[in-house]
Amino acid sequence: MRLVKQLLAVAAVGFVGSRVVAAGPGNPWFTLAAGAATAIAAVVVYAWVVRRTEDRAPTELAWPGATAGTIRGVLIGVAMFAAVIVNIAFLGGYHVHGLGSVSGALALVGFMAAVAVTEELLFRGVLFRIVEERTGTWIALLLTGVVFGLAHLPNPDAGLWGATAIAIEAGFMLAACYVATRSLWLPIGLHFGWNFAAGGIFGTAVSGTGQPDGLLDATTSGPALLTGGAFGPEGSLYAVAAGMILTVVFLWLAHRRGHIVARRRRTAEVGPVATVSA
């Protein structure tokens, strides 16, 4: 029941926050404030519900190193998406028409912060962490990565390929990022950096949710497998490749640090064997 309680608690914060933003005046400062408030509230509620249901401090959200971890994640996320755009542009698939909207980008800071925090708390903080305790790292990574991809399936222009791309480049990669650090701050920062770079900087669609007002007024054209088509660059093979590379890097780090959790096994003599690190 702790999984259900934690999921419902964080999801409730995300739902209320999204409704506040939707019902707001459309002012970028309001969206920024509402998004930031949602992100902060989600962290507070997550910490509270973990303490109540697991009788422990949420060390995955420990404050020491939170700022540094988040900043590193943001830089990795922005660099990762920039590399994807550079490859698309090299083949003539990304076109900048001029400057976009500073106020639009400002609003996206708040919106993407809320999305990154709530999704990381739900999918990595709750779902992956608890499933990993039962099944080990590898099965948990596979299962939760697929669930994360399927959660994006209802997005406009997603389709089976869009959901698959998100599962590989984000679901698997962000879970591996958490395993490598055993902290949620780096994946939160990486998730935010990726999303904000996509919409807020380069002005491209984010997971099929439409063309936002970013710092650049830009469009993409060309084969959908290379540009992502209407779904946005996240549906590009370049994005999938980038996510796969980072997944391997994070899992390598996790193995070196002894963070891989073995699958729990049962024996007839002693029953369940305690979960151990590889």
pLDDT tens digits, one per residue of 2-55: 999 999 999 999 999 999 988 887 889 999 999 999 999 999 999 999 999 999
The SS3 of residue 276 is coil
**pLDDT per residue as tens digits for the range 72-118:** 999 999 999 999 999 999 989 999 999 999 999 999 999 999 999 99
- The Cα 24–Cα 46 span in angstroms is 25
- The Cα 224–Cα 232 span in angstroms is 9
Burial of 274 (0-12, 13-18, 19+ CB in 10 A): exposed
| Percent helix / strand / coil, the chain, rounded to 5 | 70, 5, 25
Report residue 28 CA to chain centroid gap.
23
Q: What was the pLDDT predicted at 125? A: 97
Residue 278 has pLDDT above 60, yes or no: no
Residue 274 has pLDDT above 50, yes or no: no
pTM score, whole prediction: 0.92
Residue type, 138: W
Structure confidence at residue 266 as a pLDDT band (50, 70, 90): low
- The Cα 131–Cα 99 span in angstroms is 45
